[in-house]
Structures are given as C-alpha cells and as structure tokens.
Chain A
Amino acid sequence: MTRELQAPADPGIRIRTELRPAEPAAASAAIGIELRDVNLSYGDNHVLHDISMDVDEKRVTALIGPSGCGKSTLLRCLNRMNDLIESARTTGSVKIKGQDIYGPGTDVIAVRRRVGMVFQKSNPFPKSIFDNVVYGLRIGGVRDRTALEAAAEKSLSLAALWDEVKDRLQASALSLSGGQQQRLCIARAIAVEPEILLMDEPCSALDPIATLKIEELIYSLKERYTIVIVTHNLQQAARVSDKTAFFWLGRLVEYGVTSDMFTNPREKLTEDYITGRFG
C-alpha cells in the first residue's frame, strides 16, 4: 500500500464528484454530518476536491483508499484539526446538526469538544490514567471530584477498560499496554461526551488481539456516537462499518452501504482497489 499512485492512465475513468446520496441502508438513519463541496489545499497543493457526502448519525462510516488519497485529511476537516497547519485552506461547508463548523464566528474549541478524535498512535499524556481520562473535563472547568470520578468510571467502562484499570487509576498511563493505551485514548475522547468520534487508523499500531478488542468497542460505541473511521485495512472496514467511502487522489469515488460496496462496487476503480489490484 505504499506504492505511489500515478495520475489516471485511462482517461475513460470517470470520477463523479457530485453529491451522491448513500444507498438506502437496512435501517435508514438521520444525517450526522453533512459535507458540501469541501476543498482543501496546503499552499499550492490541492488535497481535497469537492467532497460532498452525508454521514449517518449513530452509524460507523469507514473512509478507505490508498495512501495519500486525502482520507485522513478529510477526517481532520471534521474537527478543524487542519487549522493547526498554517498553510491549510479549507472551503465548503461541514454541517453538524445543521450548524456549519466552518461558518463565521464558530467556536473551534466547542467544535472539538463535540467531535472527539482518536489518533493512529495512542498518545496518552505522561500523567496518571485518571488524569488522562478527565483532562477534557478539567480544562472545561469541571472541578468536582465526585463528578470527575463518575465520568472517569463511565468513560472507562464504555471503552471496555474499567475492569482492567479500576484498581490503579493513579498509575501512569504509560504503564499500560499499547492496546490499553489506545482504549484509554478512546475513553479520554468520550469523557467530554462528544456526539461524533473520529478515528484515524486507530489499530494500525496494534497487534491482532488488541485490534479485535478495539473493533468490538467500535461496534458497541455506535449506539451512542456517530463514528467516522479511517482505515487501511479493508477487512476492518468491512467488519466494523455500516457505510464506506472510497477516496482516490483527493476525490470521493464511491460511497455506499459497506456490504454492497464490497460485493458489488459500482465503479471500476473501487473494484480494482478492493480486489487488491492497486493501493
């Protein structure tokens, strides 16, 4: 998957960029995130082209595609993490519950509290497990010890970590295993009670057993959160997601119900990718 992708050799390949409503799912869902004509460039480098898609609420949506296709960049558009890069310019709109997070006067900090994020490599702070989980609440002004403790227990339980750490909440987060650290990061993200959870290849640094645990966790979390996950692993996308979006060279090529897309892709490009002909 590390091979550089060349520009399309076959000019016959169509990349449709207009809005494509997702195929009707088994149970239809409300719209969680509404993207319209999202474009992003780093300086002169145009990375995302006219992305428009609707992400279902309380479902798992997987973003797939070869390296450098823009899927991680798109994920970072959803909580405005790209703002941290000086040269990044974003246009278009991303609406969460009808509110455009790129609209004028938007409070970026509040956006990030509504949209949690879990990173490729677990990045716990060099503090205790407890301090990690309640970090977001503390900076948000929560001081009450019992409230913090209750929130920590709840988030750690939701992240399926409570039983493993309940006796050593004051131990350093760095003493946990890789998989536990990643679950801690998930607990930390959900402690602030976001509506949406973004996951940027959350299992890429984990062994298969830890990966399985995270996947189970994702499955159980979708009852409460809208989850968008970037993954390199097509099997993982097939296992955990309800819908899948395939990106190529910064464009959204195909977006649909996961099972349909993996059995019966509409685009030749998608078929080539999921059958492993490139990428």
Chain B
Amino acid sequence: MKATSAVDLRRRAVSRAVEVFCAASVVLALVPLGMILFFVLRQGLPALNGAFFTEMPKPVGEPGGGMANAMVGTLILIGIAALAAVPVGIACGVYLTEYRRARLSTAARFSADVLNGVPSIVIGIFAYQAAVVPFRRFTALAGGLALGVMMLPLIIRTTEELLGLVPPSYREGSLALGATRARAVWTVVLPAALPGIVTGVLVALARVAGETAPLLFTSFNNQFWSTRLDQEIASLTVQVYTYANSPYEDWHRQAWAGATVLIASVLFFSLLSRFATRRLERMHRGTA
C-alpha cells in the first residue's frame, strides 16, 4: 500500500500544485486589497483634517480647503435616491414574495435583474434624457433619480431575500387569527424582516454613494455651496474625479482624502451588514 507508482507521484504533485495555485489566488486578490487600502490611507489620511469636512473647495493655488459641499451634496443625492427607490423597491419585493408565480412577478424579477446589470453610465444617459433635457439644466434631482434607479434592484433583491427568510408560521399564525393578507404582511411579516431590510437599504445607499458615472451628466458638479434640488450639485465622487484629473498636487491630495472617506464608509457598511446578517441568521434559526 506504500508502494507509490510514478503515475501516483505525478498525480499527487499535480494536486498539490493546484492547491498551491488556489491558495496563491487568494493571496493575489488580497494584494490589490491591501495596496488600495494602504495607498488610500497613506495619501488620504494626512489630508483628512477638520477643514476637509467643513470648508469649501479653494481655487487652484490656494492651499487647504475641503469638500464640505461635496459631502453634503452626496448626502442630498442619496437622500433623493432613497426616497425614490425604497418605497417602490420594497413594495416590488413584497409583491415578488406574495405573488411568486404571477406573470408580473416573472417580468419584474427579470427587469430587476436586467437593471442590476445595466452599466451605470447607461443609467446616466437615461436620467439625462428623462430629467435633464426637459428642464434644460443639470439638477440634484436628476442625479438622485439616476442613483435611485441604481438602488432599485438592490433593494428589491434584499427585500425578497429577507422576506423569504421569515418563517411561514408567522404569516400563517396571523392569517389564522383572521387577518387579511395585507394586514399579515404589514403587521407581522414586514416587521420581522425589517432589521435586515434596513441594513440592506443602508448597504445599497453606501454602494450608490460611491457611484460616479451616473452623476457626470445629471447632477454635474458645483464648486459652490448649494443644497437646491433644481441646481447642479457637487458630489464626493465627481469631485474626486475632477481633482484626480487635474494637474495640481494639492488637488490630488484632496482626491485621496475624498477616496478615504468613500472607503471608510464602504468598510463601515460592509462590516455593519456582516454583523447584521449574522445576527439575523441566528435569530431566524432560533425561531424557525
């Protein structure tokens, strides 16, 4: 049994080599992760001071300044996106779980999948034609709309997934007490899935807050303070893009600082969702 033929030695060597390749792949993926984190933090942290959060951009040549307007702009944009996408997304997600086999469900599920795969730049074109052209100007509303479209499939999917996790006994219990379907969903099923859905919405918000392409020709950019929805508005990502493309060292530093803020929020929301999902899984395992 210990006699090992040449064929077996080769097979074992091949197997070993593949195992090493697979482990190396993981390491290879962690290299850019580490590099990105390292460079963003190294370049960005020094530029990340109080002024960055509170001051306006300074003209070229004047040192200092910040991205206060861009950060407020991003918050406004994702606020609009949430207002537009969350109600529709959750309602659609509920429809998909309640009427799983309806023909409309198939169509809506397919549409959500399509929407999820549409390149963000194409969403930008759509928002431009739908919300910029009629008013003949770039607006925060158009940018928010574009981000809302990007968010929609994420929210639909989260809602459908989390409602699917709610044990059927919840709904049956409610229906057995004579509740209507609407009431059962509204008072029992949705609340049970709510923490998860809220997390999903936050993650979706973080995701679209990092989008640049759909904003380039919808909300455009604004070097000045503006919170008006019918005007162009600055955003963190477009500002980073503008600064990165500029020839000025000072602006490059600002771009890195902006990237640090973006990465920090991504990290925060990823960890949040990880913990939330774990807790939810435990919760449902306990009750199911």
Chain A interfacial positions (CB closer than 8 Å to B): 96, 99, 101, 105-107, 109-111, 114, 139-141
**Residue pair B5, A107 in contact (C-beta under 8 Å):** no
CB-based nearest B residue for A111: B1
Q: Which 10 A-B pairs have the closest CB atoms?
A: A141-B7, A110-B1, A99-B1, A107-B1, A107-B4, A105-B2, A107-B2, A111-B1, A106-B1, A109-B8
Confirm or deny: B181 has a beta carbon within 8 angstroms of a beta carbon on chain A: no
**Residue pair B2, A141 in contact (C-beta under 8 Å):** no
Q: Chain B residues near A140 (CB, 8 Å)?
A: 7-8
Interface residues of B in 1-45 (CB under 8 A from A): 1-5, 7-8, 11-12
Q: How far is the CA of A267 from the CA of B220 in the complex (A)?
A: 86
Contact partner of A139 (CB less than 8 A), chosen from B2, B3, B11, is B11
Count CB-based A-B contacts (< 8 Å).
27
Q: Chain A residues near B1 (CB, 8 Å)?
A: 96, 99, 101, 106-107, 110-111, 114
Q: Chain A residues near B8 (CB, 8 Å)?
A: 107, 109-110, 140-141
Q: Chain A residues near B12 (CB, 8 Å)?
A: 109
Residues 227-270 of B, flagged 1 when their CB comes within 8 A of A and 0 if not, give 00000000000000000000000000000000000000000000
Q: How far is the CA of A111 from the CA of B1 in the complex (A)?
A: 7
26 contacts between A and B (CB under 8 A): A96-B1, A99-B1, A101-B1, A105-B2, A106-B1, A106-B2, A107-B1, A107-B2, A107-B4, A107-B8, A109-B8, A109-B11, A110-B1, A110-B2, A110-B3, A110-B4, A110-B8, A111-B1, A114-B1, A139-B11, A140-B7, A140-B8, A141-B5, A141-B7, A141-B8, A141-B11
Q: How far is the CA of A101 from the CA of B11 in the complex (A)?
A: 20
Given contacts A99-B1, A110-B8, 5 further A-B contacts (CB under 8 A): A109-B12, A110-B1, A111-B1, A140-B8, A141-B8
Q: How far is the CA of A270 from the CA of B264 in the complex (A)?
A: 66
CB-based nearest A residue for B7: A141
CB-based nearest A residue for B4: A107
For the complex, count residues of B whose C-beta is within 8 A of A: 9
Q: Chain B residues near A106 (CB, 8 Å)?
A: 1-2
Q: Taking each of B5, B7, B8, B11, which has the highest tally of chain A beta carbons within 10 Å of its own beta carbon? A: B8
Q: How far is the CA of A99 from the CA of B1 in the complex (A)?
A: 8
Q: Chain B residues near A110 (CB, 8 Å)?
A: 1-4, 8
* Distance of A195 from chain B, by nearest CB (Å): 11
Q: Chain B residues near A114 (CB, 8 Å)?
A: 1
Q: Chain A residues near B5 (CB, 8 Å)?
A: 141
Q: Taking each of B1, B3, B8, which has the highest tally of chain A beta carbons within 10 Å of its own beta carbon? A: B1
Q: How far is the CA of A111 from the CA of B5 in the complex (A)?
A: 14
* Distance of A106 from chain B, by nearest CB (Å): 6
Q: Chain B residues near A105 (CB, 8 Å)?
A: 2
Q: How far is the CA of A146 from the CA of B11 in the complex (A)?
A: 23
Q: How far is the CA of A94 from the CA of B273 in the complex (A)?
A: 49
Q: Chain B residues near A96 (CB, 8 Å)?
A: 1
Q: Chain B residues near A139 (CB, 8 Å)?
A: 11
Q: How far is the CA of A139 from the CA of B2 in the complex (A)?
A: 18
Q: Chain A residues near B3 (CB, 8 Å)?
A: 110
* Distance of A147 from chain B, by nearest CB (Å): 14
CB-based nearest B residue for A110: B1
Q: Chain B residues near A111 (CB, 8 Å)?
A: 1
CB-based nearest B residue for A104: B2
Q: How far is the CA of A110 from the CA of B2 in the complex (A)?
A: 8
Q: How far is the CA of A101 from the CA of B1 in the complex (A)?
A: 8
CB-based nearest A residue for B5: A141
Q: Chain B residues near A141 (CB, 8 Å)?
A: 5, 7-8, 11
Q: Chain A residues near B11 (CB, 8 Å)?
A: 109, 139, 141
